[in-house]
Amino acid sequence: DGGITQSPKYLFRKEGQNVTLSCEQNLNHDAMYWYRQDPGQGLRLIYYSQIVNDFQKGDIAEGYSVSREKKESFPLTVTSAQKNPTAFYLCASSAKTSGSETQYFGPGTRLLVL
Amino acid sequence: KQEVTQIPAALSVPEGENLVLNCSFTDSAIYNLQWFRQDPGKGLTSLLLIQSSQREQTSGRLNASLDKSSGRSTLYIAASQPGDSATYLCAVRGGANNLFFGTGTRLTVIP
């Protein structure tokens, strides 16, 4: 089956700890994205990557880091600098970034702070 | 900056009714507009994508329209079913990498 997988489904972070959220796609898509969803707010873009070994900050990149070493993988690290990390994190991918393509989303990871 | 608004925030209808969800955006310079469905605790499923040059798109019981000049889109759902209960999100693509989302309309279809 082609699609986007995210793991884990739930993640707990202790204060001062860095945690990494996994996102993998087998759709052969060039572009990948990370969004954060909070109750009562629209999705907000954290980081995106158009191609391997390249990524750009989105609207709320502070306290987060990413890597894109492989086309199919785009992990997101929530660092200790992110003071309010509790949210639902969604990864997405698209075939190209011309503006005409559909973004496909993974099932999400819910991050909770202990 | 692009702002996307969805009204109403929540809607309850009896099964079988036709309904319309609304989406408005402030900047008409868009590439496309996309409607998504989100079930509780789940990711987003794309329903319809309308390019900026198009006026509407249809898929089954769903019809989405786009009036770029007035900054509005509607999602029409015909003959609603309990399985249609979900949150519906509208997103506008303002550039190659910017997708601006509304806060969604939570739809409940009552059997």
Over residues B28-66, the pLDDT tens digits come to 999 899 999 999 989 999 999 999 999 999 999 999 999
Short-list A104, A108, A96, A98, CA closest to A36? A108
In single-letter form, the type of residue at position B108 comes to T
Residues of A with CB under 8 A from a CB of B: 4, 6, 31, 33, 35, 40-45, 48, 50, 56, 58, 88, 90, 92, 97-100, 102-108, 110
Mean pLDDT for chain B overall? 94
pLDDT given at position B27: 93
DSSP code at position A97 = S
Element (H, E) at B65: strand B62-67
d(CA B77, CA B47): 11
Q: Which of A42, A88, A99 sits opposite B101 (nearest CB)?
A: A42
Paired tokens of B111: 């059997």
List CB contacts of A70: < 8 A, sequence separation 6 or more.
Answer: A52
pLDDT digits (tens, 9 = 90+) for A36-88: 999 888 899 999 999 999 999 999 999 999 999 999 999 999 999 888 999 99
Which amino acid, residue B70? S
Distances in Å between the alpha carbon of B77 and those of A83, B10, B20, B21? Answer: 40, 15, 6, 8
